[in-house]
């Protein structure tokens, strides 16, 4: 049972960590609630040894700029980037510390297809779509593997993070692109390369380079190998790099999955610590320029976690209306919430709420899926 410190409401759907209800986030004046929201995030980030806000090196002579994501950190001596990946040492003054195009903080593993990927309900690895150009079989690709490329670091600060091990960044997770590319290339049963995390935004040049190195090896050896590349992200990345990822996904039969956590910016700031403006802009840009190019194989999708008490059917309505205005055919997944990280006190999304969200989403979009449905007892 949590309490909202602004309206004194007590409810099991109010987070004990966030201590503010959805109604107050949306309706109270921002200058009144903002200090509270940021102090919640600051305290948690301090425990994780992450900076409270993106460093801007205002008074320093050394200014190392990173423009990979919305946070646009400018780092000086001893600064740590918002994502936690880049740590400027005393003797560094000319270039950004790792990760780089050639070295990335990554943990990779092979996963049999079809995987539990959010998009397996429409992608070539899980369905009959894309055969023969982008798929080995006319049906789920049993016997093949996905290389799950878990990238450390995140450009958001979600209180409900379900992959929070990405925050435990260690030096030994730094891998060389050439070695990794050879390793993935050599296993001919790998037909998918999926970047996720954390979120890939903080390491976009590395992931693009890794994908291209493997694609080039396949091409240079004259092979006709199926090798799809996907990115699963929060969407807050640099526009040019985001577009580069889309071009790779497009030509390989892969896709781009956006986590649209909320539509309301204040709600995004409360739950995820960062604005969703860049995310929505990037989603719109890719949908307008790339969705519908391939016949019967969606180039991108979106998903939303139904955080009980916060991301309710009203929020789903706003998100799906936004997607509908771009294209009603964009696949959309609703994910059932389970407590994790700082929101372990919140229950699984109530069944009635999940069904209501599903109904609302279907009102606007043609392709809607319910993910994590086993949490509700559905098969």
Would you tell me which residues interact with Zn ion (CB under 5 A)?
4, 6-7, 21, 24
Closer Cβ to Zn ion, 21 or 118, answer by number: 21
Please name which of 15, 13, 30 lies closest in space to residue 269, comparing C-alpha atoms: 30
At residue 349, the 3 state secondary structure works out as coil
Closer Cβ to Zn ion, 24 or 302, answer by number: 24
Give me the least distance between CB of 311 and Zn ion, in Å please: 16
Q: Is residue 49 packed enough to be buried (19+ CB in 10 Å), middle (13-18) or exposed (0-12)? A: exposed
Give dist(CA 17, CA 38) in Å, integer: 12
Closer Cβ to Zn ion, 237 or 309, answer by number: 309
Pairing label, strands 228-233, 190-197:
parallel
| Token couple for 239 | 């526009």
Closer Cβ to Zn ion, 33 or 242, answer by number: 33
Give dist(CA 27, CA 186) in Å, integer: 55
Closer Cβ to Zn ion, 5 or 218, answer by number: 5
Give me the least distance between CB of 29 and Zn ion, in Å please: 13
Give dist(CA 147, CA 113) in Å, integer: 10
Give me the least distance between CB of 8 and Zn ion, in Å please: 8
Give me the least distance between CB of 94 and Zn ion, in Å please: 49
Give dist(CA 103, CA 81) in Å, integer: 17
Closer Cβ to Zn ion, 241 or 343, answer by number: 343
Extended strands (E) in 188-227: 190-197
Give me the least distance between CB of 25 and Zn ion, in Å please: 8
Give me the least distance between CB of 9 and Zn ion, in Å please: 5
Inter-axis angle of helices 351-364 and 313-326, nearest 10: 20
Task: Determine how many CB atoms are found less than 10 A away from the CB of residue 335.
Answer: 22
Half-sphere exposure of 284 (CA within 13 A, CB side): 11
Give dist(CA 84, CA 70) in Å, integer: 14
Give me the least distance between CB of 32 and Zn ion, in Å please: 12
Closer Cβ to Zn ion, 249 or 346, answer by number: 346
């Amino acid at each position: 049972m949590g309490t909202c410190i602004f309206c004194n409401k007590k409810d099991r759907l109010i987070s004990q960590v966030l201590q503010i209800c959805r109604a107050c986030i949306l309706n109270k004046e921002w200058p009144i609630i903002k200090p509270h929201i940021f102090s919640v995030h600051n305290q948690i980030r301090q425990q994780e040894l992450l900076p409270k806000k993106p460093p801007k090196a205002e008074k320093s002579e050394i200014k190392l700029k990173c423009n990979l994501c919305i946070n646009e950190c400018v780092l000086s001596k001893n600064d740590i980037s918002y994502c936690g990946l880049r740590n400027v040492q005393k003797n560094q003054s000319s270039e950004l510390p790792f990760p780089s195009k050639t070295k990335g903080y990554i943990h990779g593993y092979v996963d049999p297809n079809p995987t539990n990927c959010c998009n397996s309900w429409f992608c070539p690895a899980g369905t009959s779509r894309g055969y023969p150009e982008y798929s080995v079989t006319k049906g789920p690709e049993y016997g093949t593997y996905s290389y799950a490329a878990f990238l450390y670091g995140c450009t958001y600060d979600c209180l409900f993070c379900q992959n929070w091990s990405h925050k435990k960044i260690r030096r030994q997770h730094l891998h060389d692109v050439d070695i990794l590319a050879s390793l993935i290339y050599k296993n001919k049963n790998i037909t998918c390369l999926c970047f996720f995390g954390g979120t890939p935004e903080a390491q976009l040049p590395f992931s693009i380079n890794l994908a291209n190195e493997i694609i080039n090896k396949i091409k240079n050896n004259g092979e006709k190998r199926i090798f799809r590349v996907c990115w699963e992200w929060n969407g807050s990345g640099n526009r040019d790099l985001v577009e580069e990822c889309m071009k790779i996904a497009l030509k390989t039969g892969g896709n781009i999955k956006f986590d649209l956590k909320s539509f309301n910016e204040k709600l995004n700031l409360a739950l995820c610590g960062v604005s969703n403006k860049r995310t929505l802009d990037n989603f719109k840009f890719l949908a307008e320029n790339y969705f519908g190019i391939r016949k019967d194989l969606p180039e991108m999708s979106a998903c939303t976690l139904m955080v009980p008490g916060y991301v309710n059917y009203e929020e789903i309505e706003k998100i799906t209306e936004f997607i509908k205005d771009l294209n009603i055919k964009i696949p959309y997944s609703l994910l059932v919430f389970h407590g994790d990280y700082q929101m372990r006190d919140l229950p699984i999304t109530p069944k009635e709420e999940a069904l209501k969200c599903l109904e609302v989403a279907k009102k606007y979009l043609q392709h809607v899926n319910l993910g994590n449905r086993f949490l509700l007892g559905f098969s």
